[in-house]
Chains A and B, each alone.
Chain A
Amino acid sequence: MEHRKLIETSCSHFNNDPRRMLDILWQIQNSLGWISPDTMELIAQLTNTYRVEVEGVVTFYAFFMSKPQGQFVIHLCEDIIDRYAGMLPVQNAFEQILGIKVGETTKDGLFSLHLTSCIGMSDQAPAALINDMVVTNLSPNKTKILIRTLKKTRNLASLVKTFGDGNNSHELIKSMVNNNILLKGDVLLGDININAGLNKAFSLPPEEVIATVQASNFKGRGGAGYSSAKKWLAAAATQADKRFVICNADEGEPGTFKDRVLLTERAELLFEGMTTVAYAIGSQHGILYLRAEYRYLLPYLESLLTKRRNEGLLGTDILVDETENTRFSFDIRIQLGAGAYICGEETSLISSCEGKRGEPKNKPPFPAVSGYLGYPTVVNNVETFCNIPRIVDKGAEWFTSIGTPESSGTKLLSVCGDCTRPGIYEFPMGITLGEVLSLAGAKDPEAIQIGGASGVMVGRADFERQLCFEDLPTAGAIMIFSSQRNILEIADYFMHFFIEESCGYCTPCRVGNVFLKQGLEKIMAGKGETSDLKYLQDLGKTIIQTSRCGLGHSSPKPILSTMKNFPLVYAALLKEHPDGRQAGFNIQHALDESRIIAKRRSIVFDPDLGGD
């Protein structure tokens, strides 16, 4: 086989270890452009797995290609925010200038065009990925210039004329992405003292580090509001010779981009946080699970890890206590994801780190007891890890003085949609939604999606509510929709998103979401009846109750929350059909093809021929 050598080298670079399957596939795809069946066969032989298992992994992730691709693979973000920012004209422009449709490759083998879920650029939409390069604020005109430039230069770097703010201009990033930090709080985005927290932690016994965080009433920033310290205690208490600390940087929730900014501007704080937690629970190994959409940050993040290794902050024996005869070693590897929203779910993320299909695992056992490769594992998200060194450095009392009694500290919000100042805001917990909207310059806000697709959509009645765990919890996405927007169209897009991103493991999520979307489409087409509302409600309840993981527990929410908070939008489209006919059935449409083939019209259904 032609590429045998290359595949062998890639596999042996990762010790032919099937647990590094994602890394192996990335390396091979970066060279060959796609993973052919023959490639899968060879990988399977080299890693002692089966071709169908490799195929299972390849076909699970959106960014692994099982068909030949062009030299430049364009992934245009089709998120609802991008759509409202003008993504469809951009898509048309791409299709026109390239002469291909979505999913196709140009004849010259230069370009492939795909649509993808949110790539975390909602504050600079429409955006796209061209290979690993992010292009933002697209317009049909800009699109044409991009393609022309690429055709001429064949060089991605030539696309970036001006760099974004902050570290986006760092020589290892050199990206046009902007941070858009619009409000700096005291905890994360204000002035911070790097490594102060870690050094303080090293001066304390591990139990006291956990105790400090526990005293600060800190809750995980992933949205569920679970006490991080409790997770750590469970992991620390589990007997094992290895423990793992994993950072979830798979920020896939539509409308969320705060982790991207933290990874750009506070990556050292993040690594410091992971090291602090590792020290607290006695872990030697860390993994940063970076979503593939952010792989333009990979060289920069790797360089920071190297820097910290050189500074003695990562690696073997970074803390040696001669009197107690204890040694602490900790290092971090970066696991690149490959395009799967479900991998934001902690057990799916662990499956993915193990080189498998990113499907959730059964709980119990919980990851803190048996996670990555069966070892106790702590999974926290980027914002959570960034908070930890700050709490250890400044103390629990300082932290609880910020926010509400139930929710201490600050919250990063990614604000996007119909507003004049989209970007990142660090607010103290408990800020009202209305305050956020006015600071962001919301234009005629009608409906706000809190927490991305898996969150809820609220209306004006809820603008006085507080963003905190005890009132309106959010993982950080605030999508603003003005009264000009069609609420059902938004809910419909979110259903499309969940159908695309469902792993398909369990019946209710795999099948039920498809039915939910079809039911909503029927209503949108003006063919719904009152009974359809109950149908959607019952179906949604079955999906929420019986699904295996958080995706299915949330996926009906866009429909259920809009039905609850915007009942009139639905009611206006419903129409009863007392004649007992199904509005969804269109006899004219059903006969169209037949008329052409038979070259005659219907005696029954063509009115001018006497039909009804």
Chain B
Amino acid sequence: MSDNKKITLTIDGKTIQAESGQSIMNACDAQGIYIPRLCDSTGLVPQGSCRVCSVKVNGRVVAACTQPAEDGANIEHESDEIQGYRKDLVRMLFHEGNHLCPICEASGRCELQAMAYRFGISQATTYPYLQPVRPVDASHPDIALDNNRCILCGRCIRASRDVDGKNVFEYVGRGIHKRIGVNGDCLADTNADLNDYAMSLEVCPVGCIIRKGEGFFSPVGERQYDSDKIGSNIENHTAHSSLGKLIKVHQIDPNDAIHDDIDQSNVNEDKS
């Protein structure tokens, strides 16, 4: 995407350099400015669905993970208004599913929880709890899916499709009934494997994908986000166990083989 041409952006009044073609998020990451995110994960194609990375560019709110940085853009990132939206979005996700942190194995390394901690969310909202009743899929010998904790970030979908080349997951349904479907009657019907990248701890930001027989890796107090805020690795340019690891991504498009009549140069690389 990047053609190495240098451009200049202003973010919260600070001028930064970026490369033409970079997303706003990547440009900021490179400068140690962390824009909160949930559906985006290093190595996966950004899709801009959680909207937690909302920033205001020239007066319009956009998702920083998918919005290309444009020369001279004036970006509002940590204003009260934008922070307010982000808090609202994180709260919506908490209220949409059943996020019972005390009983969740992901607690302490959960990105949704960590995002709420980072935003300092401790007080009540007027949002109702939707308390969905979604089926738990424990059919697979090594992996269980507790869909009640799913925030529909779709990271497992992209990891399975683009990294593992498997398409174990895909979105099904729509609206508030949208959920992650599996390629079969249940997970045991699919070729999902514990060693898939999609099943690794880096991919599911919450406790929806559960690796059976593992868990509670670190004692309370020593867990990933107990003292380090989410995003601090970007802000401090430090290598981090999850984000510092580079994952090799093979883009696998099942359509390629049969549709070679399409001039690939014209096809938008961003398949999402």
A interface, CB within 8 angstroms of B = 16-19, 37, 48-53, 55-56, 59-60, 240-242, 340, 357, 361-362, 364-365, 370, 373-375, 499-508, 510-512, 514-515, 518-519, 531-532, 535, 538-539, 542, 545-548
Contact = CB atoms under 8 A, between A and B. Distances in A.
Contact of A508 (B89, B175, B255): B89
Given A50-B167, A374-B268, A502 B175 contact: yes
Interface stretch (B46-54, B197-205, B210-218, B222-230): B46-54
B182 interface: yes
Contacts of A545: 54, 61, 85
A362 B270 contact: yes
B48 A362 contact: yes
Nearest to A18: B255
B11 interface: no
A372 to B, nearest CB: 10
Contacts of B89: 507-508, 542, 546
Contact of B61 (A17, A19, A546): A546
Given A50-B254, A52-B167, A502-B176, A535 B50 contact: no
Contacts of A535: 126
Nearest to A239: B266
**A-B complex: 9 closest residue pairs judged by Cβ atoms:** A504-B178, A374-B267, A52-B183, A52-B170, A511-B92, A50-B167, A502-B175, A542-B88, A370-B268
A366 to B, nearest CB: 11
B117 interface: no
A542 B257 CA distance: 43
A53 B61 contact: no
B211 to A, nearest CB: 21
A55 B50 contact: no
Contact of B181 (A55, A241, A546): A55
A507 B50 contact: yes
Interface residues on B, range: 35 or more
16 contacts: A17-B258, A19-B255, A52-B167, A52-B169, A373-B262, A503-B175, A505-B178, A506-B48, A507-B152, A508-B51, A508-B89, A508-B92, A510-B96, A510-B175, A510-B178, A542-B89
A510 B176 contact: yes
B101 interface: no
A506 B50 contact: yes
A343 to B, nearest CB: 11
B272 interface: yes
A522 to B, nearest CB: 9
Nearest to A502: B175
A594 B197 CA distance: 48
B259 A19 contact: yes
B92 A548 contact: no
A605 B169 CA distance: 49
B29 to A, nearest CB: 19
Interface in B147-203: 151-152, 167-178, 181-185
A499 B88 CA distance: 18
Given A16-B258, A511-B176, 8 more contacts: A50-B183, A52-B183, A55-B181, A373-B267, A374-B266, A514-B130, A531-B126, A538-B88
Nearest to B61: A545
Grouping DSSP codes into helix (H, G, I), strand (E, B) and loop, the A interface class, with mixed when no group exceeds half, is: helix
A53 B63 CA distance: 26
Interface in B44-88: 47-52, 54, 61, 63, 66, 68, 84-85, 88
A518 B95 CA distance: 13
Contact of B258 (A37, A48, A357, A361): A48
B183 A365 contact: no
Given A506-B48, A512-B92, A515-B127, A56 B266 contact: no
A504 B263 CA distance: 32
A60 B181 contact: no
B157 to A, nearest CB: 9
B49 A241 contact: no
Nearest to B70: A364
A559 to B, nearest CB: 15
Given A507-B92, A546-B54, A548-B51, A55 B170 contact: yes
A507 B183 contact: no
B184 A511 contact: no
Given A374-B266, A507-B92, A548-B51, A49 B254 contact: yes
Q: Which of B63, B128, B174 has the most CB of A within 10 A?
A: B174
Q: Which of A49, A55, A365, A501 has the most CB of B within 10 A?
A: A55
A374 B262 contact: yes
B95 A548 contact: no
B33 interface: no
A6 B48 CA distance: 39
A208 B135 CA distance: 60
Contacts of B171: 56, 357, 504
B266 A59 contact: no
A514 B176 contact: yes
A55 B169 CA distance: 11
B177 A539 contact: no
A548 B73 CA distance: 20
A362 B176 contact: no
A55 B176 contact: no
Contacts of A532: 126
Interface in B217-272: 254-255, 257-259, 262-263, 266-268, 270, 272
A258 B200 CA distance: 52
A37 B152 CA distance: 23
A89 B254 CA distance: 50
Contacts of A18: 254-255
Nearest to B38: A507
B91 to A, nearest CB: 9
B170 A56 contact: yes
A52 B254 contact: no
Contacts of A518: 128
A48 B267 CA distance: 19
B208 interface: no
Contacts of B176: 499, 502, 504, 510-511, 514
Q: Which of A340, A515, A539, A547 has the most CB of B within 10 A?
A: A515
B2 to A, nearest CB: 15
B257 A499 contact: no
B96 to A, nearest CB: 5
A362 B269 CA distance: 12
A370 B68 CA distance: 15
Given A56-B171, A508-B89, A51 B183 contact: yes
Contacts of A361: 272
Q: Which of A55, A364, A546 has the most CB of B within 10 A?
A: A546
B92 A59 contact: no
A507 B49 contact: yes
